[in-house]
Amino acid sequence: MIRKKIIFNILGKLLVGESVFLFLSLLVSLIYQESDTIAFLYSGLITFAVGGLSYLSSKGVKKEMGKREGYIIVSLVWVVFSIFGCLPYLFSGSILSVTDAFFETMSGFTTTGSSILNNIEELPHGILFWRSLTQWIGGMGIIVMFLAILPTLGIGGRELFIAEVPGPTPDKLTPRIKETARNLWGLYASFTAIECILLMFGGMSFFDAINHSLTTMATGGYSTKQASVGYFDSAYLQYVIIAFMFIAGTNFTLSYAVVTGRFRKVLKDEEFRFYSYVILLFTAIITTGIIVTSNMGYEQAFRDALFTVVSIITTTGYATADYLLWMPFLGMLIFVLMFVGGSAGSTGGGVKVVRILLLFKNSFYELKRLIHPNAVIPTRYNQRVVNERTVTNILAFFVFYIIIFMFSTVVMSFWSADIFSALSAVATTLGNIGPGFSEIGPMENFSKLPDFAKWFLSFLMLLGRLELFTVLVLFSPSFWKE
């Protein structure tokens, strides 16, 4: 039996929490004395009222929740947050279409970074801050954030945590879910603050620095400039952002290990090594390609290559160079990186490095098993045997990912200018990356797509952010049977 009161209880509390962030954006708007003040006031009050009524209508519910309620709540909260989160865009007139406003907001909360905006510099400061804040809230996870800061959430924390943070290596920093959530968000907030300070040292204004710090650590990629990070044309600023994109794409369990002095754990971690090797290899190849095919200097070529590789593999989506102008071979390498993603336990999206690594390992060991049918050759990760259920889960994930990718590409081909636009639109939204190729390249956006395509891609963003299964399970008839 699915207990609806539990769902309304938690959604109500979370909406009240979202209203707090809307009022924070209202404060920014008041500081800059801009026209979006009323928009945030109305948005915050509506969100608070709906959340409060939802909570009060279910007050006194017993604090018991099963896995089914957990999956429903986690899937619903991202949609509900996006619905209320798009109100400031509509009330302020920054975005006139409901479709475009929802697309921009879902892209923000899922940290995809795909945008429909063509006038970013003209937007009020409050709207720009809210746009960045949606990514920062969604980066570590909406549920994880409220588990960390709301001790009154109190219902089924473990079920919610597992449903929102799926993956093959759900390592916890501590045995207690709430303590884990607090540690994760403590690291997340600390890295954000440090990056902001370093960006200001490089000459960025405080407003630009805080916005880029919020969206870098979320691996979201929203910028306060239409030309993204390339607008600032500063080697120092770009290297700082590269460093923090790399950190954000690394498993936060490893970041916690570094903070607590356990450096060997990082060096011994197979996923971290594979993640680093992929970045170095692709950067070396792309740097060489740029130097051979252009008159660009070595340092500039290396920086453009490194920035693009780290931005794509971590699914941040910032841009300093238009990779569509590079030779086709280099463009194909970028397209391949879209299917890698960040590390498990990071804010990065995509398939995740650990899944790629374990898939390669299991495929290699399967060849050995064919040659030696009587031998027991288990798949190992970090010197531990990976159980068969985990391997099966990874294989199932890949099958679903490819099927969804192929089906979605066929659907998008009806509304895209060419097949490569359709392929990249699906790859970049399902992987929560941001920019694609052709008509949605790094110097373009999604504004030209028809409304149906934007709604469809918004669903793919949600599907990718919750790593398929949390959403797909809701479409199973057996899920709803008593």
Q: From the centroid of its chain, how far is CA 453?
A: 20
467: alpha, beta or left, given left = phi > 0 and alpha = psi -120 to 50? left
* Helix, strand, coil distribution of the chain in percent, nearest 5: 70, 0, 30
- pLDDT tens track for 444-466: 889 889 999 999 999 999 999 98
Is pLDDT of 231 > 80? yes
What is the rounded distance in angstroms from the CA atom of residue 297 to the CA atom of residue 281?
20
- pLDDT tens track for 285-314: 999 999 999 888 899 999 999 999 999 999
Residue 290's CB is within 10 A of a number of other CB atoms, namely: 23
Name the β-bridge partners of 384.
381
Average pLDDT of the residues in 461-472 = 89
Average pLDDT of the residues in 117-127 = 92
Do the beta carbons of residue 316 and residue 219 sit within 8 Å? yes
Split at pLDDT 50, 70, 90, the class of 229 is very high
Average pLDDT of the residues in 405-415 = 91
Do the beta carbons of residue 425 and residue 436 sit within 8 Å? yes
- Which amino acid appears at position 291 of this protein? I
Is pLDDT of 172 > 60? no
- pLDDT tens track for 22-39: 999 999 999 998 888 999
- pLDDT tens track for 354-397: 899 988 888 888 888 888 877 777 888 888 888 888 888 888 88
Written as six digits, the tokens of 277 are 């090797």
Least confident of 296-300, 342-346, 349-353, 476-480: 476-480
Picking from 190, 195, 287, the residue whose alpha carbon sits closest to that of residue 245 is 195
Do the beta carbons of residue 342 and residue 353 sit within 8 Å? yes
Written as six digits, the tokens of 101 are 């406003």
Q: Residue 186: its pLDDT value, please?
A: 85
Is pLDDT of 402 > 60? yes
What is the rounded distance in angstroms from the CA atom of residue 234 to the CA atom of residue 268?
34
Mean residue pLDDT across the chain: 86
Is pLDDT of 161 > 60? no
Q: Residue 393: its pLDDT value, please?
A: 86
Least confident of 48-62, 251-265, 321-335, 420-434: 48-62
pTM value is 0.91
Packing angle of the helix pair 67-85, 37-57 (nearest 10 deg): 160
Q: DSSP per residue over 402-456, as a string? A: HHHHHHHHHHHTTTSSSHHHHHHHHHHHHTT----SGGGSTT--STTS-HHHHHH
Average pLDDT of the residues in 208-237 = 93
